[in-house]
Structure formats: structure tokens, C-alpha cells
Amino acid sequence: MRVPLGEPDPTREASSTGQRTIHHEALGSRVLLFVREQRRQGTVTEPFVCLGFARYESHEGERPMAIRWRLEREIPAAWLPVMALAV
């Protein structure tokens, strides 16, 4: 399953952070993807939910880099309506 990030990364592709993100597997790093529906509900900060490990698939643009991740496992069905993802 491909997952676009809700908030694009303010990094450039050529930067060390951009290169680490793109080549994370070759560098021996794993990415855990955490998401939340919204930042706050009233005065309460919403918690994040872990969707599991993800691999870099592609990105568009620079500053921000809109990164597309591929999850290793499917998102639980109960989360799909909340997330409103195009899968």
C-alpha cells in the first residue's frame, strides 16, 4: 500500500536529509510511519498511531519534498475511513 505524507518534508532532494530518506534501505535504516487524524481536538493533543514499517517509494518536488511511502503491511480496515486515503 502506498501512503503519501500529510505534511510534506521541507527538505531538498540533494541535502543530506533528503539523501538519507531516499536511500534509507541501502544505508541500513528502517522507517516507522506514525500518523494522526489531526493535531488537536479542542485543547487536547491527538495521539499518533503507528502504521508500521515503510519503504521510500518516490517523491515529488523540493522544499517541500512530498514523499510517498510503501507500507510493509496493510492499514487496518477500521482506519481507512478515518484516514481518507486513496489506495
DSSP 33-68: EEE-S-SEETTEEPPPEEEEEEEEEEEE-SSSBEEE
Residue 15 domain-assigned (yes or no)? yes
Residue 58 domain-assigned (yes or no)? yes
Residue 56 domain-assigned (yes or no)? yes
Domains contained in the chain, number: 1
Residue 83 domain-assigned (yes or no)? no
Residue 82 domain-assigned (yes or no)? no
Q: Count other Cβ atoms within 10 Å, centred on residue 40.
A: 9
Residue 81 domain-assigned (yes or no)? no
Q: Which domain holds residue 26?
A: 2-73
Residue 86 domain-assigned (yes or no)? no
Residue 84 domain-assigned (yes or no)? no
Per-residue model confidence (pLDDT) at position 86: 47
Per-residue model confidence (pLDDT) at position 30: 96
Residue 81 has pLDDT above 80, yes or no: no
pLDDT digits (tens, 9 = 90+) for 41-67: 899 998 888 889 999 999 988 877 888
